[in-house]
Amino acid sequence: MSDSQPEPRDRSPVARRSSLSSPSGGVTLHDVFLAAARVGPHVRRTPLERSAALSAELGLEVWLKLEPLQHTGSYKLRGALNRLLTLPPEARRRGILTCSAGNHGLGMAEAARLTGIAATIVVPENASPAKLAGLRRSGVELIVTGRDYDAAEARARALAAERGLPFVSPYNDPAVIAGAGTVMLEILQDLPGAGTVVVPVGGGGLASGVGLVARAVNPALRVVGAQPAASPAMHAALAAGRLVPVADRPTLADGLAGNIEAGSVTFPLVQSALDGIALVDEAAIAAAMRAFLDSHHLVVEGSGAVGLAALRGGLRPAPPEPVVLIVSGGNVATAVLARILAETGE
């Protein structure tokens, strides 16, 4: 793990909650409650379970929020469905266009099926084969283009303008953020005594939703991010105090890869609500994926394993406990999992 892991809140040079009024990015706790009411009939309330194995290993009280058990295999359905259910009538008739590394696309495809709204989904050429296979089965219009997420998003935005369709960002969208925030509502309902939540961070949609709910309900609750060192866009932004371009190298946490859109509402939300972001390397992510399989017989993708990688790499949240790891998804190709098992085996 990077040596820039979060310090306790009052000493953090990277990110801490402001004592002043913080920007909301146009998203409020009320929006999250409304999102929960909208999507509740269609999404699964995923389990929050204590991990005896990880608690013993880490010397912490560790709980797991298991979004791999969500419909489509990740939390992304929550935000995608909330976005489609809040579209104005004209947009519902025309349909939408979005870009995704995979999980947002799967969530949007299912949301499109549930609502009857047409969806075109653009994904990069390096998208996970498991996610591509799911998208091809979904029946949406799928366009595979661009060597990485940044290139695919640029093409998707141009295509949306050409077709006159609304572009739905997988993270820079208030309705998507509010839907993601329902994960935190469930955590607080099930474990109101949680002391620290560790959340995967990419473009910041999940971290924004989780952070704004935590800040509004219990300002003492610590929220710490985890991000792949191979694609550290939000970590770099917090260090610089503004969005800055970063090199986007290949990572097992493909759902967290890519740069952040200029002016994204997620940056001020993450800046005000997170207590820092820990960076984790590829070996740590792979080992965490294997640990989930070994200890819980649970298939977790790289993006969902970064929180455990951070804890195993030395992140020690300040008291109080328990610590909740948001395990964000489980869509990983069998070939990738087989390679990890071979490389991390005894």
Per annotation, catalytic residue among 24, 65, 76, 169: 76
Would you say residue 3 has pLDDT above 80? no
Query: So what's the pLDDT on residue 198?
Result: 98
234 vs 321, residue with greater confidence: 234
Same domain, 54 and 154: no
Query: So what's the pLDDT on residue 101?
Result: 84
Q: Is 328 a catalytic residue?
A: yes
Strand order, beta sheet including 119-123: 141-144, 119-123, 96-99, 167-168
Burial of 106 (0-12, 13-18, 19+ CB in 10 A): buried
Q: Region 236-261: what's the mean pLDDT? A: 95
Residue 2, in any domain of the structure: no
Domain extent at residue 13: 9-74+174-343
Query: So what's the pLDDT on residue 187?
Result: 98
* pTM of the shown model: 0.90
Out of 147, 168, 189, pick the residue that ends a domain: 168
Same domain, 217 and 294: yes
Residue 3, in any domain of the structure: no
Please choose, from the candidates 328, 26, 30, 51, the residue with its C-alpha nearest in 3D space to the C-alpha of residue 207: 328
Residue 52, in any domain of the structure: yes
Residue 31, in any domain of the structure: yes
Same domain, 316 and 199: yes
Residue 281, in any domain of the structure: yes
Same domain, 256 and 181: yes
Would you say residue 332 has pLDDT above 90? yes
Residue 44 to residue 72: CA distance in whole angstroms: 10
Residue 172 to residue 283: CA distance in whole angstroms: 30
Q: Is 131 a catalytic residue?
A: no
Q: Region 323-330: what's the mean pLDDT? A: 98
Residue 93, in any domain of the structure: yes
Out of 168, 199, 218, pick the residue that ends a domain: 168
Residue 67, in any domain of the structure: yes
Would you say residue 229 has pLDDT above 50? yes
Residue 140, in any domain of the structure: yes
Query: So what's the pLDDT on residue 128?
Result: 84
Query: So what's the pLDDT on residue 25?
Result: 63
320 falls in which pLDDT band (50, 70, 90)?
low
Which CATH number goes with the domain that contains 148? 3.40.50.1100
Share of the chain above pLDDT 90, in %: 83
Q: What's the number of domains the chain is made of?
A: 2
Same domain, 92 and 33: no
Same domain, 119 and 92: yes
Per-residue CA distances from 271 to 53, 85, 267 (Å): 33, 28, 6
Same domain, 117 and 219: no
- Beta strands (DSSP E) in the chain are 48-50, 62-66, 96-99, 119-123, 141-144, 167-168, 196-200, 222-228, 277-280, 323-327
26 falls in which pLDDT band (50, 70, 90)?
confident
What integer best gives the mean pLDDT of the chain? 90
Q: Region 102-111: what's the mean pLDDT? A: 94
Same domain, 23 and 111: no
Out of 168, 185, 217, pick the residue that ends a domain: 168
Residue matched to tokens 């949007």: 108
Would you say residue 143 has pLDDT above 70? yes
Tokens (6 digits) for 223: 């929220």
Same domain, 335 and 187: yes
Same domain, 112 and 64: no
Same domain, 112 and 249: no
Same domain, 131 and 66: no
Query: So what's the pLDDT on residue 20?
Result: 27
